Structure 1
Amino acid sequence: MSANKAKGTRLERQAADYLADALNDDRIDRMPLHGKGDRGDISGIRTVLGERVVVECKNHNRLELAQWVKEAETERGNADAHAAVVVHKRRGKGDPADQYVTMTLRDLAVLLGAQANPNRPDAIDQVAETRLT
């Protein structure tokens, strides 16, 4: 395995383990490779309403946020998920909890409880009535 691939795999493992522990959910884990139909790097993540979320992990020296978000959006479609986020390495920070997360505002709204429109992934139908208390 190349050094760059090992860095990416390490971030994926750390992020998956952190999220599984923080959310007390042992279904969260690294996603098996799918090649052309990639569905993200971490499986088992859900919105507050229980909808699937794609998590793409990146450990690169150079930030390419637009490209990474586009890749995550493609994977969201492949996974039939409602939101997509990119976890990317924060230089000088080894704690998984200190890594950055990038997403669209639409995806943030979906994570927080807005209803995604399944026919238009770029749109939100309404704010869900169900809220966590």
Structure 2
Amino acid sequence: MARSRTSAKAAGTRFESLIAQTLDTYLAGNIERRARTGAQDKGDISGVLLKGTRRVVVECKDVAKMNISGWLREAQAERENDGAEIGVVVAKKRGTSDPLQQYVHMTLADFIDLVALAQ
């Protein structure tokens, strides 16, 4: 049975909250789920920082069908809207509710920036 729009939104909200809570548990910062902001969206989760003030935009996806290229375009637009350094997508891994087992997608350019900032 397909999800209704209401149940899909609820699942997305639950997933975003779970990922925000997990990031807040493991990372220093003031990590929280963002309210939706429409055309100037700045990602689903705020407060993920690199080296103090460099921000990472996190876009969450709990959907049945993968669309990684579309998701990365969305994360890039949100990164630009937020003025952040990096945009990543956290996608639901079917068959597990463990937040640490979910998938993270990013471009190679963002991965290189991430590693360079960590050195």
For residues 104-115 of structure 1, the aligned pairs below 5 Å read 104-114=107-117
In structure 2, stretches of 5+ residues that fail to align are none
Provide Cα deviations, 1:55-76, integer angstroms capped at 9, x if missing partner.
Answer: 0000000000000000000101
Work out which of the residue numbers 101, 104, 111 in structure 2 matches 1:101. 104
Q: Which has the higher helix share?
A: 2
Distance (whole Å) between structure 2 residues aligned to residue 72 and residue 79 of structure 1: 10
How far off its partner does 1:11 sit?
Answer: 0.7
Other-structure match for 2:13: 9
Task: Find the structure with the greater CA-based Rg.
Answer: 1
Query: Residue in 2 aligned with 1:126?
Result: none
RMSD: 1.6
How far, CA to CA, are the matches of 1:90 and 1:11 in structure 2?
Answer: 11
Q: Which secondary structure state, in structure 2, belongs to the residue aligned with residue 71 of structure 1?
A: helix
CA distance in 2: counterparts of 1:112 and 1:47, whole angstroms: 10
Q: Is the 8 A contact 2:27 2:48 kept in 1?
A: no
The aligned counterpart of 2:90 is: 87
Deviation for aligned residue 1:49: 5.9
Shift in Å, 1:17: 0.2
For residues 79-132 of structure 1, the C-alpha deviation after alignment (integer angstroms, 9 at most, x for no partner) is 011100000000001011110000001111222234xxxxxxxxxxxxxxx83x
- Which secondary structure does the structure 2 equivalent of 1:52 belong to? strand
Stretches of 4+ aligned residues off by more than 4 angstroms: none
SS of the residue 1:62 aligns to: coil
**TM-score when scaled to structure 2?**
0.90
User: Matches of 2:103 and 2:51 in 1, distance apart?
Assistant: 20
Structure 1 gap segments, 5+ residues each: 115-129
Equivalent residues in 2 for 1:54-133, closer than 5 Å? 54-114=57-117, 131=119
